[in-house]
């Protein structure tokens, strides 16, 4: 679009101070004649640009005039580039957008923003694995969310039942490398795992989305509901305070600190969907933890201990 080229030409002059029609043509991937017409159009529109003839000439802004098309503060610019910068390595569109935004920033912001863009590299693959890429359905769904078009797909639930759905896509969430679609249905808001969606296609029908919908708020509510279900069984456990971070890493939100004891220990409440799931984790701690409450978890620990002694006890004594 010509409007995009005109803005790009203006930003290029702003960043370089002076630009020739040939340089602009190479940057915008257009002919020299088209670039020259764009520069003349800017001047005709009242933008203070003028050509300078002769060797070393070109087009430049009168008196070093500047325009900040971004409206960003220094902190906002750094935060944006820190967030989007890693994506530029794998997404050509993000790289192009960052390049244009850099030119729109004032000189005082530009150096820090460019440094932030290259400050972080995200490698989602484990050692020995190839780099993970987004699945095809994610790209399709992302397009549907942006374009606000209904999506049709076949969905496999936990019971392996397959149903056909037509939903209004509201947003996508990547949680620990598992993608979820938050969507509107005839029964209200629902969440679908993308890896359970088959034959996903975007329809021509417009999708409805509540004006006050906030994806972050909606996802927090989904997480809260899931965590409540996951925490249907709990146990009160005492451990050394220096081990608290390990318990928090193992149980996440389901590790609640109840009390810091004067002897350097801490009392916590651990939760999970079933007693065996708490016991299986705590069994590896041996005598480092003490279960104060939950007879069910104690019974599971005793059972696990008996199984281990039965299998390995005699071997260890020989």
Instruction: Note down pLDDT in tens along the chain; length 318 residues.
Output: 455 677 677 777 776 777 888 888 888 888 888 888 888 877 776 667 777 776 667 887 765 555 555 555 556 666 655 656 665 555 666 666 666 666 666 665 566 666 666 555 555 566 666 655 555 688 889 888 988 999 999 999 888 889 999 999 999 888 877 889 999 999 899 999 998 999 999 999 999 999 888 888 888 888 888 877 776 788 999 999 999 999 998 888 889 999 999 999 999 999 988 899 999 999 999 889 999 989 999 999 999 999 988 888 766 554
Q: What is the rounded distance in angstroms from the CA atom of residue 37 to the CA atom of residue 183?
A: 47
Do residues 267 and 258 touch, judged by C-beta distance below 8 A?
yes
Q: Quick one: how far is CA 210 from the chain centroid?
A: 22
The fold of the 231-317 domain, in CATH, is Alpha-Beta Plaits (3.30.70)
Classified by CATH at the fold level, domain 136-211 comes out as SH3 type barrels. (2.30.30)
Q: Which CATH number is 2-64 given?
A: 1.10.10.10
Stretch(es) of the chain classified as CATH 3.30.70: 231-317
CA distance 201 to 116: 37
- CATH 2.30.30.520 domain locations along the chain: 136-211
Nearest alpha carbon to residue 152 among 207, 105, 199: 199
Q: In the structure, how many helices (H) and strands (E) does the chain have?
A: 12, 12
Domain with CATH 1.10.10.10 in the chain: 2-64
- CA torsion through residues 45, 49, 54, 57, sign: negative
By the 8 A CB rule, do 182 and 222 touch? Answer: yes
- In terms of DSSP H, where are the helices of the chain? 2-16, 21-28, 32-44, 74-84, 92-104, 107-117, 136-147, 215-230, 244-251, 275-282, 295-308, 314-317
């Amino acid at each position: 679009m010509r409007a995009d080229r005109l803005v790009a030409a203006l930003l290029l002059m702003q960043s370089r101070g002076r630009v020739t029609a040939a340089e602009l043509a190479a940057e915008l991937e257009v002919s020299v004649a088209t670039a020259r017409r764009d520069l003349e159009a800017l001047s005709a529109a009242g933008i203070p640009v003028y050509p300078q003839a002769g060797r070393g000439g070109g087009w430049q802004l009168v008196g070093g005039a500047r325009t900040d098309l971004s409206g960003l503060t220094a902190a906002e610019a750094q935060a944006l580039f820190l967030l989007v910068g890693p994506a530029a390595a794998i997404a050509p569109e993000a790289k192009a957008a960052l390049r244009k935004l850099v030119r729109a920033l004032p000189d005082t912001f530009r150096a820090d923003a460019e440094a932030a863009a290259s400050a972080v590299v995200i490698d989602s693959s484990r050692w020995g694995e190839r780099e993970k890429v987004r699945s095809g359905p994610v790209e399709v769904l992302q397009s549907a969310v942006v374009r606000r078009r209904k999506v049709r797909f076949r969905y496999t639930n936990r019971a392996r039942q397959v149903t056909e759905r037509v939903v209004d896509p509201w947003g996508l969430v990547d949680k620990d490398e598992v993608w979820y679609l938050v969507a509107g249905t005839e029964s209200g808001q629902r969440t679908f795992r993308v890896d359970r969606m088959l034959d996903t296609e975007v329809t021509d029908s417009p999708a409805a989305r509540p004006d006050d919908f906030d994806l972050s708020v909606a996802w927090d509510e989904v997480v809260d509901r899931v965590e409540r279900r996951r925490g249907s069984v709990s146990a009160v456990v005492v451990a050394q305070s220096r081990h608290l971070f390990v318990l928090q890493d193992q149980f996440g939100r389901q590790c609640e600190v109840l009390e810091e004891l004067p002897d350097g220990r801490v009392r916590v409440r651990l939760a999970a969907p079933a007693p065996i799931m708490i016991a299986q984790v705590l069994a590896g701690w041996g005598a480092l933890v003490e279960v104060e409450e939950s007879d069910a978890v104690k019974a599971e620990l005793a059972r696990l201990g008996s199984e281990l002694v039965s299998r390995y006890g005699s071997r260890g004594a020989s």
